[in-house]
Chain A
Amino acid sequence: AQSVTQPDARVTVSEGASLQLRCKYSYSGTPYLFWYVQYPRQGLQLLLKYYSGDPVVQGVNGFEAEFIKSNSSFHLRKASVHWSDSAVYFCAVSAGNAGAKLTFGGGTRLTVRP
């Protein structure tokens, strides 16, 4: 079985500061990894995904994530946050085969102070 842990339910940072949101996954095979973002009263939108190759993947709006297999982690980073980045961020894992189910973490609510 696969699982995802996001240890920080809430994170608050000041605008312009750097950001790291943590994600640890559990999966016995080679995982497909995702970060999604949910803005208020909206569905989830894909930020970035990792399948293979370069362990650092770039996403939209300056976000990036690094896959560290030895640590089973896929942390999300951004060099300088903006107030509009305030949202809930979800990490997810999949087995990767066609039609595989995505398993989501509990989410991290990010608040950016002006």
Chain B
Amino acid sequence: EAAVTQSPRNKVAVTGGKVTLSCNQTNNHNNMYWYRQDTGHGLRLIHYSYGAGSTEKGDIPDGYKASRPSQENFSLILELATPSQTSVYFCASGDVGGNTLYFGEGSRLIVV
């Protein structure tokens, strides 16, 4: 069964609206990550977390917030969505020792 699940899988939002992308992992990993994937850019890190209650800025954090209320859950929040945030978002969990990441299936967001 899937160890990293994301919801919603597809979302259409209006400019200026609030969007929350949720991620749940059953790997019992301390580390969790949010990436966005855009053609030509590969995956770029938005926010990450080392455990419940912690969030860290990644390489492109502007316009995004993150929340890690528990070991299992990590959310990405767009307070004021813009069309430039149209993308596919991936959540991942990671084992501390080996750096291997385990990805969810992605959330496709369109901001109109």
Contacts and interface: CB of A to CB of B under 8 A. Distances in A.
Given A41-B105, A44-B90, A49-B100, A99 B42 contact: no
Nearest to A98: B96
Contact of B99 (A4, A9, A32, A106): A32
A10 B49 CA distance: 33
B14 interface: no
Contacts, number: 63
Contacts of A43: 4, 90, 92, 103-106
Nearest to A108: B42
Nearest to A42: B105
A67 interface: no
A6 B92 CA distance: 22
B112 interface: no
B99 A100 contact: yes
Interface in B87-112: 90, 92, 94, 96-106
A99 B101 contact: no
Interface in A44-80: 44-46, 49, 51
Nearest to A6: B42
Interface of A: 4, 6, 9, 32, 34, 36, 41-46, 49, 51, 90, 94, 96, 98-107
The 9 tightest CB contacts between A and B, nearest first, are A43-B103, A106-B42, A104-B42, A104-B43, A44-B103, A98-B96, A94-B99, A43-B105, A107-B42
